[in-house]
Amino acid sequence: MPTYTPPLRDLRFVMDELLDVGSTFKSLPAHAETDIDTVMAVLEEGGKFASEVIFPINQSGDREGCTHDKTNFTVKAPSGFKEAYKQYIDGGWAALSCDPEYGGQGLPLTVNQAFYEMLNSGNQAWTMYPGLTHGAYECLHAHGTPEQKATYLPKITSGEWTGTMCLTEPHCGTDLGMLRTKAESNADGSFTITGNKIFISSGEHDLAENIIHLVLARLPDAPQGSKGISLFVVPKFLVNADGSLGERNKIFCTGLEHKMGIHANATAQIALDGAKGWLVGQPNRGLQAMFVMMNAARIGVGMQSLGLTEVAFQNALAYAKDRVQMRSLAGPKAPDKPADPIIVHPDVRKMLMTAKAYAEGGRVLSIYCASLIDTYLNHPDEAVRKEAEEFVALLTPIVKAFITDNCWIATSHCLQVFGGHGFIAEWGMEQYVRDARINMIYEGTNTIQSLDLLGRKVLGNQGATLKKLGAQLEALAEECEGNEAMQEFIGPMLKAAELWSTLTFEIGKDAMTNPELVGAAAVDYMRVAGHTVFAFWFAKMAKIALEKQNSGDDFYKAKLQTARFYFAKLLPEIESCAITARAGLKPLMETEAALA
């Protein structure tokens, strides 16, 4: 049976010593009273919920799955899920970072994101129910009318009602401009919505008394393509004027998808048969409103993979210390045993360290992005808010794609550490691999994220934001000038930054005559970008570790060793990615015979 220990020590290191989020919070009037000790006290209790309440029902939920009743279109979540959800809302966890105006606790999003890492380690499928709800909250909070906010946000904030995002249709996934769901206006200001949606995570369940669906649909006179999409709030049960639940709306779960992983989350097929909904935001501008939820979801998916990477690493490490197989090539390391623990073997250590490094790098990047979001939502200086938002836009596709790609690598490595036992369900590793695979697909495939990064976020503003990020790397290098111990990290970091910059210039120049080159290079480009960002953070972590390596705390020694591993064994991937990115279109597109 797998185990899980919340990484509270590392969370404190990242938030306090590395990012100094306490100082960030002090600059934000809404969070000025939030200190690191308060944050860690909250996270300690959150870790207990993740490890003691939802972690024990992760494997059982995967085995049982969700049950769909075709006679009344209802879905029952696995045993224990509803009870765990009640503990979640009774504990106030749903309200953690929500607006106090609607019953929230008003804590920074940074705290919520750290909490969600632990929830995802505990049980990704369960965490998706409240996770998507928080995205619906963000969307309505940003774009809902005063009436919509008053109707829905208090119940969503408390967790009494959950939320979904209904985008995908059977004939279109990412290409939302093709969607066919239609909305027709009614005399009372509502709309009648008809259509079919698929792959709707948490689309139907018995955890909450109402589900608030955010649905993309077309008005009758809407322009074609993505510019003709509107957003509607469509509750499972209509809400009376006094806030009580009214009649059942005509939105139904007609089936559940049979999936490779996340069996315990209801991935629903949804039919809207004249359902009643209300417009959110402006007509034909639904994608702009939905992007609030989609971007929150993309960072959330990165957190899902971060959580899986951490829990997989913890269990693979424990197994490697205990499992004895063969002798070290240099001679017995455990002469009192019939064989050596497999952790003595170099390649086992490489697999373990890969998972550890990807977990620690992903944790820093995710929490840093959350602190940037807190800044652009709350800082009193408009220029500071704008720059924070700019950096979040650049880093969001990296959080989604790079962290989820790394999780697939890491969980596969951790399964491999177990050998044949990794393939056996009782050890838990094969579930982590299965669950991790979806994270590279939904909320915009990682290819879409790569295209977004290169095409929109970098080339779209002629590399302006990238230059600002590069200035941060140069500032760190200048800060470490004369520090000989740091040069083993600063040199490779600067080399990676130079490669990223050069590759950007080359692709941008060539794409002016052939835009398809962006598509040919984007995925390789994402790996270069992600590794360079990680290199920056590992260098900063190494700087702190070097300063404190003689403190007697082995934590800093471990940080230094992980940084050295990252620079020696993982960062060099950028060289091969640059080669394949520069290979251009010909090897891909002149393949008519091969793909005939």
Structure tokens at 256: 């559940």
Strands 210-217 and 230-235: antiparallel
Report the pLDDT value the prediction gives residue 228, as an integer from 0 to 100: 93
Whether residue 123 sits in one domain with residue 13: yes
> Which of 143, 175, 197 lies at the terminal end of a domain, its last residue?
143
DSSP H/E element including 430: helix 429-438
Structure tokens at 534: 């990680």
Whether residue 586 sits in one domain with residue 455: yes
* Whole-angstrom distance, CA of residue 36 vs CA of residue 40: 6
Residue indicated by tokens 């052939």:
514
What phi and psi values does residue 325 have, to the nearest 5 degrees? -155, 125
Kindly tell me the burial class for residue 173, based on how many C-beta atoms sit within 10 Å of its own C-beta (0-12, 13-18, 19 or more).
middle
Whether residue 519 sits in one domain with residue 471: yes
Whether residue 83 sits in one domain with residue 51: yes
Is residue 245 domain-resident? yes
Helices (H), 274-417: 286-322, 346-378, 382-417
Is residue 327 domain-resident? no
Is residue 370 domain-resident? no
Q: For residue 307, give the amino acid letter.
A: G
CA atoms within 13 A on the CB side of 403: 32
Whether residue 191 sits in one domain with residue 130: no
Is residue 489 domain-resident? yes
Report the pLDDT value the prediction gives residue 287, as an integer from 0 to 100: 84
Q: For residue 299, give the amino acid letter.
A: I
Is residue 430 domain-resident? no
Question: In a 3-state reduction of DSSP, which class is residue 341?
Answer: strand
Mean pLDDT of residues grouped by 10 in the chain (596 residues)? 96 98 97 97 98 98 97 97 98 96 96 97 98 92 96 97 94 85 96 97 97 96 91 97 96 97 98 97 87 79 97 98 94 93 97 98 97 95 96 96 98 98 96 98 94 96 96 97 97 98 96 94 98 98 96 96 98 98 95 96
Structure tokens at 93: 């966890």
Q: Which residues are catalytic?
A: 443
Range of the domain at 76: 8-143
Within 8 A by CB and 6+ apart from 239, the residues are: 151, 152, 210, 245, 246
Whether residue 273 sits in one domain with residue 235: yes
> Which of 270, 285, 300 lies at the terminal end of a domain, its last residue?
285
* Whole-angstrom distance, CA of residue 301 vs CA of residue 289: 19
Whether residue 19 sits in one domain with residue 134: yes
How many distinct structural domains can be found in the chain? 3
Report the pLDDT value the prediction gives residue 256, as an integer from 0 to 100: 98
Q: Residue 83 maps to which CATH number?
A: 1.10.540.10
Rg of the chain over all Cα atoms, to the nearest angstrom: 24
Whether residue 106 sits in one domain with residue 210: no
Q: For residue 316, give the amino acid letter.
A: A
8 Å CB contact between 253 and 179: no
Whether residue 565 sits in one domain with residue 463: yes
Report the pLDDT value the prediction gives residue 564, as an integer from 0 to 100: 98
Is residue 229 domain-resident? yes
Report the pLDDT value the prediction gives residue 292, as an integer from 0 to 100: 72
Whether residue 137 sits in one domain with residue 17: yes
Whether residue 138 sits in one domain with residue 167: no
Is residue 172 domain-resident? yes
Q: Residue 264 maps to which CATH number?
A: 2.40.110.20
Is residue 109 domain-resident? yes
Whether residue 18 sits in one domain with residue 114: yes
> Which of 285, 303, 329 lies at the terminal end of a domain, its last residue?
285
